[in-house]
Structure 1
Amino acid sequence: MKTVSQQDPYAALRYSDFRFFISNTFLFSATILIQEVIVAYELYKMTHDPLALGLIGLAEVVPFIITSLFGGYVADQKNKITIMHISLVVIILGSVILYTVFQPGIYNAMTRGEHLAAIYAVFALIGFAKGFYSPASSSLKPFLVPRTIYHNSSTWSSSFWQAGSITGPAIAGFLYAYIGLTHTLLLVITSFIVCWILLGMIKTRPEFPKITTPILESLKEGFRFVFRTRIVLYAISLDLFSVLFGGVVAILPVFAEDILKVGPEGLGVLRAAPSVGSLLTMFLMAYFPPTHNAWRNMLLAVAGFGLFTVIFAISTNFLLSCAALFATGAFDSVSVIVRQTILQIYPPDEMRGRVAAVNGMFVSSSNELGAFESGVMAKAFGTVPSVMVGGVVTMAVVTWIYLRSKDLFSVRLS
Structure 2
Amino acid sequence: MFTLPAPLQIRDYRAFWLSRFFATVAGLMLVIVIGWQVYDIARASMSRDDAAFLLGMIGLAQFLPLFCLALVVGVIADRMDRRHIARAAVALEILCAAVIGGLALAGEVPMTALFVVAALLGVARAFQGPSMAALAPNLVPRELLPQAIALNSISWQAGAVIGPPLGAFLYAVSPATPYLVAAVLFILTFICLMIIRPVPLPPPAVVTPWRSVMEGISFVRHNRVVLGAISLDLFAVLLGGATAMLPVYARDVLDVGVAGLGPLRAAPSVGAVIVAVLLANRPLRRHVGPVMFASVAVFGLATVVFGLSTSYPLSLAALFVLGAADAISVFVRGTLIQLHTPDDMRGRVSSVSGLFISASNELGELESGLAARYVGAVPAVVAGGIGAVLVTLLWAWRFPQLRTADRFAGPTPKPG
Q: What TM-score, normalized to structure 2?
A: 0.93
- Residues 1:26 and 2:21 are matched in the alignment: yes
Task: Report the residue type matching 1:72 in the other structure.
Answer: G
2:100 aligns to what? Answer: 98
Q: CA deviation at 1:263?
A: 1.1
Alignment of 1:189-200 (within 5 A): 189-200=183-194
**Range with bigger deviation, 280-289 or 165-174:** 280-289
Q: Residue 343 of structure 1: which of 337, 343, 346 is its match?
A: 337
Residue in 1 aligned with 2:126?
131
Contact persistence 2:303–2:381 (CA under 8 A): yes
- 5 Å-filtered alignment, 1:148-167, equals 148-167=143-162
- 3-state secondary structure, aligned to 2:170: helix
The one of 7, 11, 20 equivalent to 2:6 is 11
Aligned residue number for residue 53 of structure 1: 55
- Provide closer, same or farther for how the CA distance between residues 407 and 186 of structure 1 changes in structure 2, counting only shifts above 3 A: closer
Question: Aligned AA for 1:29?
Answer: T
For residues 87 and 309 of structure 2, what CA distance do their matches in structure 1 show? 43
Higher deviation after alignment, 270-279 or 233-242: 233-242
Equivalent residues in 2 for 1:184-333, closer than 5 Å = 184-333=178-327
| Post-superposition offset of 1:130 | 1.4
* 1:3 aligned residue: none
Which runs of 4 or more aligned residues in structure 1 lie more than 3 Å from their structure 2 counterparts after TM superposition? none
In the alignment, the residues of structure 2 paired with residue 59 and residue 315 of structure 1 have an alpha-carbon distance, to the nearest angstrom, of 29
CA displacement 1:344-399 (0-9 Å, x = unmatched): 11111111100000001111332111111111111111111000000011000111
Listed one character per residue, the Cα deviations across residues 220-272 of structure 1 (whole Å, up to 9, x for unaligned) are 11111111111111111111112111011121010000000011111000000
Measured in 2, the distance between the counterparts of 1:316 and 1:231 equals: 39
Residue 183 (structure 1) aligns with:
177
Question: CA–CA distance in 1 between the matches of 2:285 and 2:229?
Answer: 13
Structure 2 residue matching 1:174: 3-state secondary structure: helix
Query: In the alignment, what sits opposite 2:87?
Result: 85
Secondary structure at the aligned position of 1:205 is classed as coil
User: 1:356 aligned to 2:358?
Assistant: no
In 2, Cα distance between equivalents of 1:174 and 1:119: 19
Contact 1:34-1:168 at 8 Å conserved across structures: yes
> What SS is found at the alignment partner of 1:209?
coil
Q: Counterpart in 2 of 1:5? A: none
1:59 CA drift (Å): 0.3
5+ residue gaps, structure 2, are 44-50, 410-416
Residues 287-313 of structure 1 deviation map (CA, whole Å, 9 limit, x = unaligned) = 332341111010000000000100000
1:326, 1:358 → 2: CA distance?
28
- Amino acid corresponding to residue 348 of structure 1 in structure 2: P
Is the contact between residue 274 and residue 326 of structure 1 (CA under 8 Å) also seen in structure 2? Answer: yes
1:67 correspondence with 2:62: no
Structure 1 residue 407: deviation in Å? 4.2
Higher mean alpha-carbon deviation, 126-135 vs 252-261, is at: 126-135
Letter in 1 for 2:188: V
Matched, 1:41 2:43: no
Post-superposition CA distance 1:274-296 (Å, at most 9, x none) = 00000001111123323411110
How far the C-alpha of 1:195 sits from its partner, in A, is 0.6
The normalised TM-score by structure 1 is 0.94
Cα distance between partner residues in 1 of 2:88 and 2:174: 29
Aligned residue in 2 for 1:4: none
Query: Contact between 1:226 and 1:233, CA under 8 Å: does it hold in 2?
Result: yes
Are 1:172 and 2:185 counterparts?
no
CA–CA separation in structure 2 for the residues paired with 1:50 and 1:158: 30
Question: Using the alignment, how far apart are the partners of 1:346 and 1:277 within structure 2?
Answer: 28
Q: Distance in 2 between matches of 1:206 and 1:268?
A: 41
1:374 equivalent in structure 2: 368
Inter-partner Cα distance in structure 2 for 1:163 and 1:61: 24
TM-aligned CA deviation for residue 65 of structure 1:
1.2
Q: How far has the Cα of 1:137 moved from its partner?
A: 0.3
Identical-pair percentage:
39
Partner of 1:116: 111
8 Å CA contact 1:291–1:338 kept in 2: the answer is no
> 1:9, CA displacement in angstroms?
8.6
1:72 and 1:267 map into 2 onto residues whose CA distance is 35
- Which consecutive residues of structure 1, in runs of 5 or more, have no partner in the other structure? 1-7
Distance 1:392 1:68 in 2: 30
SS at match of 1:102: helix
Following superposition, the deviation at residue 401 of structure 1 comes to: 1.1
Contact 2:239 2:387 in 1 (8 A): yes
CA contact (8 A) 1:290 1:334 kept: no
For residue 103 of structure 1, give the secondary structure of its aligned residue in structure 2: helix
What SS does the aligned partner of 1:289 have? coil
CA change 1:102–1:280 in 2 (3 A) is: same
Cα offsets for 1:120-139 (capped at 9, x unmatched):
11111111121111110000
Contact 1:9-1:287 within 8 A present in 2 as well:
no
Point out the more displaced range, 116-125 or 314-323: 116-125
